[in-house]
Homo-oligomer: A and B are copies of this chain.
Amino acid sequence: MAALQHKIILSEDEMPTRWYNVLHDLPTPPPPPLHPGTLAPIGPDDLAPLFPLALIEQEVTTEQYVEIPGEVLDVYRLWRPSPLFRAHRLEKALGTPARIYYKYEGVSPAGSHKPNTAVPQAFYNAAAGVRRLTTETGAGQWGTALAFACSQFGLECEVWQVRASYDQKPYRRLMIETFGGTVHPSPSDLTAAGRAILAEHPDSTGSLGIAISEAVEVAASDPDTKYALGSVLNHVLLHQTIIGEEALLQLAQIGETPDLLVGCTGGGSNFGGLMFPFLREKWAGRMSPSVLAVEPSACPSLTRGRYAYDFGDTAGMTPLMKMHTLGHDFIPDPIHAGGLRYHGMSPLISHLYETGEIGAVAKPQSECFAAGVLFARTEGIVPAPEPTHALAAAIEEARRCAETGEEKVILTALCGHGHLDLPAYGAYLAGAVSDSETTDAELDALVAESLARVPSVG
């Protein structure tokens, strides 16, 4: 019997040298971000206190491609191109005729897709003379990625980590520190935003929205300091498209065309990174895959949120963005997939969902952990809790194929390993992982209440 090929590898020479900008090809443009005071579309000047000009330009450009700077490519080469794997052993365990592929971003320094944007963000900030970057982190992946990226370009890195995660995931803090970053639990008493929360809720376990408020406040008050965001914004998703560009080359190498693309969604950067280049191919008529977003039942911004203008942070310091949102002060259940606990969804992903280009489902975490354990025991990689959501949906579809006999080609985004999330697996194996018990009606009420606190947009 011929050996089954598991890895589809690109050489460094074959690594894409430009990012793909989905804005260029969108059938209709997404609504613009608005200034929360004037409710007028924001301009570059509004973003200048937080971001360097190069990133502001990338946020609004409609050019189809953006060249990746050589210095960024040099750092990417530490782990990119990332491998595409065929999941032969998972397929066999499922008895499915489907062919399952996974694009694995866990080989990066942070163990996830996050360095794909952390590296260019650090590069452009360093090139603009910035001395320090601030950011928030939930699961800790983004903080780790930015600390690593800052170490490559000689920047200081200060991270506000959601308190719940800071306490539950000490290894993440230690990894950030090993890369040279500084970590504060959020809410902290270092910022007005943090102190305000602590005054009202001294035991607050924090949220991504609060941590964003703190990091933004510090950056806005120091001319040598800028802010970096790990998801949601256009330029972040732009940088992540190297994932999808590589996957296209890898599938072409073996002559495969995907029928189903599935990825998890928190803020949307891993999902957009894989999907946007495939959507371009779909719009060009070269393939016709279904594209599915999988979110946690405990934080279902696409499937249960409203498509409305809302703040990106809890304190209401960011521009208003049109997105699927559960409300900027929504605090999701403390599920283990911390990277999916964000109240909103990237405006680009929200727009694609609203226009019917992509579908979405929500999954309870117990089903996701079961998928993660099966995956670990067959493919040998313990996935981060976030991508187990995509795996759960991929496995569900592969099992359906086992019944129908369909030889579907499924591509899923395995956006990170779960080495620092093993206590979550321990809880699952001990039967101590529970699913959200919030009813749809309760959730709808919470969303309505939160959105009532947003300035009304005509």
Contact = CB atoms under 8 A, between A and B. Distances in A.
25 contacts: A3-B70, A3-B74, A3-B77, A6-B78, A79-B380, A89-B152, A107-B107, A108-B380, A109-B380, A115-B380, A151-B377, A171-B171, A171-B419, A171-B422, A174-B425, A174-B429, A175-B419, A175-B422, A177-B425, A177-B426, A178-B377, A178-B422, A179-B376, A419-B419, A419-B420
Contacts of A381: 109
Interface stretch (A7-15, A131-139, A193-201, A213-221): A7-15
The main secondary structure of chain A at its interface with chain B is helix
B78 A178 contact: no
A252 interface: no
A73 interface: yes
A74 to B, nearest CB: 7
Nearest to A81: B7
B12 A422 contact: no
A171 B109 contact: no
Interface string A96-137: 000000000001110100010000000000000000000000
A11 B9 contact: yes
Contact of A175 (B70, B73, B170, B382): B382
A5 interface: yes
Contact of A178 (B11, B178, B420, B429): B429
A77 B7 contact: yes
Nearest to A85: B78
Nearest to A150: B377
Contacts of A73: 3
B3 A7 contact: no
Interface in A151-183: 151-152, 170-171, 174-175, 177-180
Interface in A1-37: 1, 3-7, 9, 11-12
Contact of A7 (B5, B12, B109): B12
Nearest to A77: B6
A9 B15 CA distance: 14
A315 interface: no
Interface of A: 1, 3-7, 9, 11-12, 70, 73-75, 77-79, 89, 107-109, 111, 115, 148, 151-152, 170-171, 174-175, 177-180, 373, 376-382, 417, 419-420, 422-423, 425-426, 429
A3 B12 contact: yes
B422 A174 contact: yes
Contacts of A180: 377
A427 to B, nearest CB: 9
A431 to B, nearest CB: 13
Contacts of A177: 425-426, 429
Nearest to A148: B380
A11 B420 CA distance: 30
A171 B427 CA distance: 12
Contacts of A379: 78
Contacts of A425: 174-175, 177-178
A376 B179 CA distance: 6
B4 A426 contact: no
B178 A376 contact: yes
A346 B213 CA distance: 56
Most central of A111, A171, A429 by chain B CB within 10 Å: A171
A89 B71 CA distance: 12
A67 B115 CA distance: 40
Contacts of A78: 6, 89, 379-380
Nearest to A372: B178
A158 to B, nearest CB: 16
Contacts of A420: 171, 419, 422
B9 A5 contact: no
Contacts of A115: 380
A382 B109 CA distance: 8
A370 to B, nearest CB: 12
Most central of A373, A376, A380 by chain B CB within 10 Å: A380
